[in-house]
Amino acid sequence: MQTLIVDGTIVTAEGSFKANILVQDGVIVRIDESTEMDEGWVIDAEGKYVLPGGVDPHVHLNLEMAGTVSSDDYYTGGKAAAFGGTTTVIDFVSQGPGSLEESVTTHRRFADANTSIDYSSHMNITHFDDQVAEQIAGLPDLGITSIKVFTAYNDRLRINDGDIFRAMRVAGQNDILTMVHAENGDVIDLLIKEALQAGHTEPIWHALTRPGWGAVEASLRAFALAAQVDAPVYLVHMNMAGEVDQLKYARSKGIYAMGETCPQYLFFSEENLGQPDGAKFVCSPPVRSKADNATLWQGLEDGTIQVLATDHCPFFFNGQHAIDYEGEKVAIPGKELGKDDFTKIPNGLPGLGDRLPVFWTHGVVAGRISVERFVELTSTNPAKIFGLYPKKGCLQVGSDADIVIWDPNLKVKYGVSVAQHRTDYNLYEGWNLEGMPDLVMQRGDILVEDGEWYGKPGQGKFIERLSGEVL
């Protein structure tokens, strides 16, 4: 059975053009003006854009944290992603007490059975020794070509700078990309202790105890370590203007440095944390200032920042009240856990389904970026950096038929009623958006069409990755 998409404007990172796409057996087999095909069906994309499915390289699904679990799992998170035009995600494998391979096997056992879209994984390195060093070298055999290290979360996730240096070195020697969460864990711990002793418990103190300069300093430290081991490094969830400066500086010195930011850091600030519902905006690192918002936008526009991801990690705002999800009542403990202590608020926000619609309206429609740059930041670049290209992230003959028919004229009042995250709030509630997916397919199968969901648990696949590119 074949599928022919006709009369749409195909958008790639390199350019846009009118053509038809023929899909067979889950892959793209022809891109030209022909309307010939064997038995199959035709999708009319007249007046619409035809985009590669979005690739979100930074999500946390079913993540245990602060006495609860992130409210989207591999099925619900995939559904939310697809409704927003994203068809591939990369999440994180937590390092367990056994080998890295055992951690990956445990992770995949649950994810493979439940995921509704294609996914891959990064490997968190949260303790390090000679055995772990040997196991990092074997990760590509498991289809994983990236690790993540932390300069914060002392006594939980952080390893010391010497071990980060060693992990980066062995990663670089094996064509594995090192991702860095850059904050100053020592300063954070000190300021949290002082704030609680002084009786400061409100959400705003989440930001005040995680100084932005700590992220700037730690980002430069990450780049310096990468320079010393001559290995690539990728800075996750950039939230500070100073991090943009450091990334630009590192790249100017020939360091193989790349970075991402997320929508929350483009639109929200510490002012939101000071609102009565400020816990909704608690994430790590925190949202900062409007000046930081502006510089991060500039970094996306001028090419300093390579990727727009989400760091999707949703929690209920009030997990004591159930929501309706696919005909069932669901309640999961959430941010109310920290109503009397900001340190107990689960850190994380919904965003997986919001990324493309919000960024389209405020990027493309607003004239900040082109449609080609939109595809580059949300699909092609992450696919290239993380070793998914050209299977994912582009529309080429031989690529997976992960295709989004995008209606630039579709206008919606956005919020919980439109987004499909399994949680009780949306950061963009009431926003007027212009441009939304009309149809979303993965490997030729329709996931979403005209607002209807056709996906199911286990429909997605784990994608083994190759070594990525340094952009």
**In-domain check, residue 471:** no
Task: Read off the pLDDT of residues 208-230 as tens digits, 9 standing for 90 and up.
Answer: 999 999 999 999 999 999 999 99
Task: Give the bridge partners for 434, in sequence order.
Answer: 411
Report, as an integer, the average pLDDT of 65-93. 97
Report, as an integer, the average pLDDT of 222-246. 98
Query: Is the predicted pLDDT of residue 246 greater than 90, yes or no?
Result: yes
What's the number of domains the chain is made of?
Answer: 2
**In-domain check, residue 106:** yes
At 126 the pLDDT is: 98
Whose CA is closest to 56, among 71, 78, 73? Answer: 78
Task: Read off the pLDDT of residues 305-341 as tens digits, 9 standing for 90 and up.
Answer: 999 999 999 999 999 999 999 999 999 999 999 999 9
At 238 the pLDDT is: 98
Query: Is the predicted pLDDT of residue 1 greater than 90, yes or no?
Result: no
* Same domain assignment for residues 152 and 117: yes
* Same domain assignment for residues 337 and 449: no
Report, as an integer, the average pLDDT of 170-187. 98
* Angstrom distance (rounded) from CA 113 to CA 116: 9
Report, as an integer, the average pLDDT of 248-257. 98
Share of the chain above pLDDT 90, in %: 99
* Same domain assignment for residues 358 and 401: no
Report, as an integer, the average pLDDT of 143-159. 97
CA pseudo-torsion sign 323, 325, 329, 332:
negative
Query: Is the predicted pLDDT of residue 54 greater than 90, yes or no?
Result: yes
* Same domain assignment for residues 219 and 292: yes
Mean pLDDT (the chain, rounded): 97
Task: Read off the pLDDT of residues 259-282 as tens digits, 9 standing for 90 and up.
Answer: 999 999 999 999 999 999 999 999
**pLDDT confidence bin for 375, thresholds 50/70/90:** very high
**In-domain check, residue 197:** yes
At 395 the pLDDT is: 98
Report, as an integer, the average pLDDT of 230-259. 98
Task: Read off the pLDDT of residues 386-437 as tens digits, 9 standing for 90 and up.
Answer: 999 999 999 999 999 999 999 999 999 999 999 999 999 999 999 999 999 9
**In-domain check, residue 425:** no
* Same domain assignment for residues 44 and 93: no
* Angstrom distance (rounded) from CA 280 to CA 259: 25
In which region does residue 450 sit, left (phi positive, over 0), alpha (psi from -120 to 50) or beta (all else)? left
**In-domain check, residue 221:** yes
* Angstrom distance (rounded) from CA 136 to CA 146: 9
* Same domain assignment for residues 40 and 133: no
* Same domain assignment for residues 65 and 47: no
Query: Is the predicted pLDDT of residue 234 greater than 90, yes or no?
Result: yes
Task: Read off the pLDDT of residues 117-136 as tens digits, 9 standing for 90 and up.
Answer: 999 999 999 999 999 999 99
* Same domain assignment for residues 397 and 376: no
* Same domain assignment for residues 47 and 92: no
Report, as an integer, the average pLDDT of 31-35. 95
Task: Read off the pLDDT of residues 303-314 as tens digits, 9 standing for 90 and up.
Answer: 999 999 999 999
**In-domain check, residue 306:** yes
**In-domain check, residue 440:** yes
Q: Residue 139 is part of which domain span?
A: 53-383
Q: Please report, as a single letter, which amino acid is at residue 343.
A: T
pTM of the model: 0.98
Q: Please report, as a single letter, which amino acid is at residue 32.
A: D
* Same domain assignment for residues 126 and 204: yes
**In-domain check, residue 84:** yes
* Same domain assignment for residues 226 and 302: yes
At 340 the pLDDT is: 95
**pLDDT confidence bin for 66, thresholds 50/70/90:** confident
DSSP 8-state secondary structure symbol assigned to residue 60: -
